[in-house]
Amino acid sequence: MSNLMTRLTDALPGLDAFADNLKRAGDPIFGPDGPAPVKDALYGVWLEHPLHPPVTDIPIGAWSLTALFDLLGEEEAADATLKVGVVGAVGSAVTGLAQWYDLQNMEEPRRLGAAHAMLNTAALGLYLASWAARNKGDRGVGIATALAGLGLSGVSAWIGGDLAYRLGIGVSRVAFQSPPAEWTDVAPVSEVPEGELVRVEVRKGVPVVILREGDTIHAASNTCTHVGGPLHKGERDGTCVTCPWHGSEFDLRDGSVVHGPATAPLDVLEGRIVDGQVQLRAVPA
C-alpha cells in the first residue's frame, strides 16, 4: 500500500470492524448462496463492465449541481438535485458492495474499499442531515452540511480512483495480452487430453486455457478477467469453466461471462490440430 493510502486508512478508526460488518451485510446477496441473477445484475455482467463506476456519476454529478445551485441561490433546484444524489448514492453503495465483496483475501483492496465505503456513508449521512435542515427552513445549516458531504465524497472518489487505476480493481486482467495473428504451435496433441483443461503459452506472458473435444479446440485467455485467477485450475462443466478464486464462470466457446463477479469476457483464440500439433492464433478481425 502506498504511504499516503496507509496513513489515510490508519487514520480511520474502526476501519477493519467496519469492513467486517460490511461483508456480513453483503453475505445474503453476494455470498455463495446469494441469488445469481441478482448478483450478476449488480456486478454488471449484462453490461460487460462493472456497474459501480457509471452509477457513481449520479450522486457526484447531482451533489456538484447542488453546490452550484446553492451558490446561485436557486433553492428548489438545489434541493431537488440533493435528493437525486441521495437516491443515486444508495444505488452506488449497493453496486460498490458488489464489486468489493469478493476482494476479502486481498488486504489492500479490502481496506481501501472499506475506507471508500466508510467515507461515502459519512457523506450520505451529511446529505441526509442537509435534507432535514432544508425541510426545517434552516438553509445555512443545510448548505454547510452539504458542502461538508461534497468534500468527503471527493476524498472517497479519490480512493476509488486509486483502487481502479493503481490496483486495477474492475480492470480486465487480459486487457494487455496480445495473442499472435499467425498460427502458432503450442503443444503436441498428445499433451492435451480430451475433456481436460490444459494451460499453454501462445507467446511469453500470454497464457491460454485449452479444452479439446475430439478434433475441436476451444481456447481462451487463461487469466480470469476479474482479478487474475488461473482458469485451468478451475472446474469444467461442458465448455464452461469456473474460476477457482471467486467463482466467475466463462464459456470457452466465445469467452462470454456466464456468471460474475467478472464482467469482462475472455479473449478467445482459434484452434486447430495440424501434424499432431495444437495450433492457436488470434481470431481474425
Which one, of 43, 140, 143, 162, lies nearest residue 96 by Cα? Answer: 43
8 and 78 share a domain?
A: yes
Domain count, the chain: 2
Kindly report each contact of residues 197-204 with a partner whose C-beta sits within 8 Å and lies 24 or more positions away, as own/partner: 197/231, 197/232, 197/233, 197/234, 197/236, 197/241, 198/232, 199/230, 199/232, 200/278, 200/280, 202/269, 202/280, 203/178, 203/179
Range of the domain at 210: 184-282
Q: Report the pLDDT value the prediction gives residue 163, as an integer from 0 to 100.
A: 94
Residues 100, 10 share a domain: yes
pLDDT at 9: 83
- Give this prediction's pTM: 0.90
Are residue 19 and residue 119 in the same domain, yes or no?
yes
Query: CA-CA distance, 285 to 276, in Å (whole number)?
Result: 27
pLDDT at 202 (0 to 100): 93
Q: Are residues 149 and 194 in the same domain?
A: no
Spatial contact of 172 and 264, defined as CB atoms under 8 Å apart: yes
Between CA 221 and CA 267 the distance in angstroms is 5
Q: Is the domain of 245 the same as that of 197?
A: yes
Please give the pLDDT value at position 158.
Answer: 93
DSSP 183: -
What pLDDT, on a 0 to 100 scale, did the predictor assign at position 1? 62
Q: And the C-alpha cell for 134? A: 432544508
pLDDT on residue 205: 87
Please tell me whether residues 130 and 211 are part of one structural domain.
Answer: no
In angstroms, the CA 62 to CA 59 distance is 5
Q: Is residue 172 part of a domain?
A: no
Residue-wise DSSP of 82-94: HHHHHHHHHHHHH
* pLDDT computed for residue 101 by the predictor: 96
The cell for 84 is 437525486
- Domain-embedded: residue 175: no
Q: Is residue 173 part of a domain?
A: no
**Tens place of pLDDT for every residue, the chain, 285 residues?**
677 878 878 888 899 999 999 999 999 999 999 999 999 999 999 999 999 999 999 999 999 999 999 999 999 999 999 999 999 999 999 999 999 999 999 999 999 999 999 999 999 999 999 999 999 999 999 999 999 999 999 999 999 999 999 999 999 999 888 899 999 999 999 999 999 999 999 988 899 999 999 999 999 999 999 999 999 999 999 999 999 999 999 999 999 999 999 999 999 999 999 999 999 999 987
Q: Do 156 and 238 belong to one domain? A: no
Name every residue whose Cβ is closer than 8 Å to that of residue 176 and which is 6 or more positions away in sequence.
none
Q: Which three cell numbers, joined as nine digits, stand for 239?
A: 465448455
- On whether both 143 and 215 belong to a single domain, the answer is no
Of the residues 165, 200, 229, the one at which a domain ends:
165
Amino acid at 86: V
